[in-house]
Amino acid sequence: MAACPATLLAQTASLAVPAKPAGAPADLTPLLGSYAGEGKQVVEVLENDGRLELKDGVNPVVPILKDSDDHFSVTGELNGSQVQIPVQFVRRDDGQGVHEIVFGQAHLQRRVYDADINKSFHVTPVRPLEELRKEALLDSPPKEAHAFRKPDLVELTTLDPTIHLDIRYATSNNFLGTPVYSQPRAFLQRPAAEAMIRAARDLKNYGYGLLVHDGYRPWYVTKIFWEATPTEGKIFVADPSQGSRHNRGCAVDLTLYDLQTGKPVEMPGTYDEMSPRSFPNYPGGTSLQRWSRDLLRQAMEAQGFTVFETEWWHFDYKDWREYPLLNIAFEKLSLTR
């Protein structure tokens, strides 16, 4: 392991983190989620401090009171008076899950997101991947009229052995269902890498390590992602005509893992999920999931990163504008120690 410069060893003050909440009660977790009705009506059923709450996107969060099994109520206003509005959770015929809630007179269907913590969200590419790969490799990044810093990419695992990798783009476990990287490795520009390592050291005080999904990304991969993704999912992928901050080596996709068990930590949504659960301020899920997501964000922002507006796992380093768009495959990188 290379000697650590002073900038890497410098530490910040402890994070101002609220007390860690307990896990959600097991009888409540099957009820959590997004429910959508006719038009644009959407409600979130979430857990907070062991209790159910409801958020409709307009009004403040309101508690859901339990009347009996699967029958609940919320307090609402009708003709200027406070009334109890019934809420019923309707289970599937097999009894294994909830598929609908009846909220007053409205019937809202549960949104189903086909993803879990170890399996990537998946979309059907709009064109064959091999066709897109050939086109992307023949193309080039947009020209930029700017004086950039000289790139200095470093491999993250050489700076801190507690950094774990889950580079899904080097496997079939990604949103396109096929490998797009030649090697399962992660790189960042040196200042960004050192800042990330400082964040990792802060997180060790809370019992967590960093699990990296992606760092530097060659431009041709950004081109593949853009061309393969359906129109409705393009807010979650970078436009190659602008380039990605990943292409500059100043963006990292990551999550937390438990230092004792080595297992990834549950967040309100999963990595690369193309749904509202990916938004950094998504209000749903459990208290513990939101706390974990916000802890990661606070640790990274304390070191000069900014969370991306539609992805809780994506963080951009503050100096990303100072580096050029790169299009070098991993096996062709020339690294310094």
Task: Report d(CA 165, CA 177) in Å as an integer.
Answer: 18
CA angle (69 as vertex; 68, 74 as ends), nearest 5: 55
Residue of 132, 332, 327, 139 lying closest to 218 (CA atoms): 327
Tell me how far apart the alpha carbons of residues 305 and 241 are, in angstroms, rounded to a whole number. 24
Distance separating alpha carbons of residues 4 and 182, to the nearest angstrom: 29
CA 307, chain centre distance (Å):
10
**Rounded to an integer, what distance in angstroms lies between the CA atom of residue 308 and that of residue 283?**
16
Instruction: Residue 83: count other Cβ atoms within 10 Å of its Cβ.
Output: 12
A 10 A CB-CB count for 26 gives 7
In sequence order, the 6+-apart residues with CB closer than 8 A to the CB of 322 are: 148, 149
Separation CA 25–CA 47 (nearest Å): 9
Q: Are 273 and 113 in contact (CB under 8 A)?
A: yes
| Contact (Cβ atoms closer than 8 angstroms) between residue 75 and residue 85 | yes
Q: Are 180 and 169 in contact (CB under 8 A)?
A: yes
Residue 301: active-site member = no
Q: What is the DSSP track for 120-137?
A: ------SS-HHHHHHHHH
The residue from 194, 311, 322, 331 that is catalytic is: 311
Which residues are designated catalytic? Answer: 311
